Amino acid sequence: MTTTRRTRAWAVAAGAALLAIPAGAAWAASGGDADDSYGGYGMGGARMGGMMRGWDADRDSGGYRGGDRDGGCLMGAWADDGPASDADAASLAAMAEEERMAGDLYDELADAWDLRTFAVLAHAEDMHLRAVTGLMEAYGLDDPTEDAEPGVYEDADLQSLCDELLAQGTRSETGALTVGALVEETDIADLRGQDVDSDTVAAMYDHLEHASERHLTVLVEALDADGIAYEASVLDPAEVAEITGVPAP
């Protein structure tokens, strides 16, 4: 999917998904204790309205801290399979910018709502970005995100999309959760749609896809805990229900 087609699809889906949010809906959640360790992802259902349930920090960034663990973004990603093709180089550059945008967006939402969950998501997206740019470095490719200013993108469509999602996510906490779920849902679809030549790149995308499935689950569970039904607008609703374990509305 081209950047233009992808960002247009996101914008349409974002508008549709957020129309379903009840006016004034609130999500009651704690920001956590200041002295809690940053990696306290799996600390039980009470924390963050259940958002941390089943989230294992090492599994989400396993290629960095947990070695070749199941679900690690970098498992097998450093195989020497020759120079990157033009298609792979273009795909990696696009995905790097997409991961950067997701991380920038989650940083802003974390600041807006003082919710640990978005800080954790931003941290995970940084791990994913490092996975992509690390592979680009291994291939000798330029990193399009190097020295980039947060929230600023050369691609006009990506810039417009980020601005729109940020505006929607700062209207309410529930809106922020819905935007996050939409980002993860779309990221899954976009990773699946990448047409690459390298088995190495394809393997890394597969692990990033599974990480996005975990993020989607956390966000949809949080909405469900607050009595808000998340309506999938990119993937098939039945598949989202299967991924998250939350029945489709």
Structurally, how many domains does the chain consist of? 1
For residue 150, tell me if it sits in a domain: yes
pLDDT for the residue 123: 96
For residue 39, tell me if it sits in a domain: no
Torsion angles phi and psi, residue 84, rounded to 5? -75, 140
For residue 30, tell me if it sits in a domain: no
| Prediction pTM value | 0.73
pLDDT for the residue 155: 86
Q: At a CB cut-off of 8 Å and minimum separation 6, what does 237 contact?
A: 231, 248, 249
For residue 20, tell me if it sits in a domain: no
pLDDT for the residue 173: 95
Token readout for 170 is 């700062």
CA distance 186 to 189: 5
For residue 25, tell me if it sits in a domain: no
The CATH number linked to 106 is: 1.20.1260.10
pLDDT for the residue 181: 97
Low-confidence ranges of the chain (pLDDT < 50): 1-59, 61-77, 79
For residue 225, tell me if it sits in a domain: yes
CA 188, distance to chain mean position in Å, is 9
* 124-171 pLDDT per residue, tens: 999 999 999 999 999 999 999 999 999 999 888 889 989 999 999 999
pLDDT for the residue 74: 44
CA distance 9 to 114: 29
CA distance 95 to 25: 33
For residue 23, tell me if it sits in a domain: no
pLDDT for the residue 80: 53
pLDDT for the residue 42: 32
pLDDT for the residue 82: 77
Q: Is 225 helix (H, G, I), strand (E, B) or coil?
A: helix
Give the domain range for residue 92.
Answer: 3-14+47-244
For residue 38, tell me if it sits in a domain: no
pLDDT for the residue 1: 46
Q: Is 92 helix (H, G, I), strand (E, B) or coil?
A: helix
* 41-51 pLDDT per residue, tens: 332 232 333 33
